[in-house]
Amino acid sequence: MRLACSRCLKEYETRLASAFELTYTRDVSSSIEAVDHKEVELKAEEMGLIFFNGEQIDLMEGIQEQIVLAFPIQPLCQRHCKGLCSKCGADLNKGDCGCDRTPLNSKFSALRNLKLDDI
């Protein structure tokens, strides 16, 4: 699949591998005391079961969900991607742009020299 790096925004290709198990059932009403059909469906979901009706199982929804779960939350083109320069936007993986990126007037810069007593 193609993903965009969350640090440098570069698109990269990666393999997505995920092993999962899905349990489909339509016989939950006997084990779950539920008032209506909707409630049966919700409880089945809580138990990790996927409820289905009729003679056919639609695998799409369950598989889609697993693929979404397998997506990296913070995709990175490489483990130590340096990202983009916050000043000029240069790709820092290609070398340093020479910008001074230490925050000059940061609200928290005063805290840098703060020393807290050990508790």
d(CA 43, CA 34): 8
Cβ nearer to Zn ion, comparing 5 with 44: 5
Cβ nearer to Zn ion, comparing 28 with 90: 90
Instruction: Give min distance, CB of 73 to Zn ion, in A.
Output: 15
Cβ nearer to Zn ion, comparing 38 with 94: 94
Instruction: Give min distance, CB of 20 to Zn ion, in A.
Output: 28
CB atoms within 10 A of CB 82: 14
Are 28 and 48 within 8 A, CB to CB?
no
Binding site for Zn ion (CB under 5 A): 5, 7-8, 77, 81, 85, 87-88, 90, 97, 99
φ and ψ at 86, to 5 degrees?
-75, -10
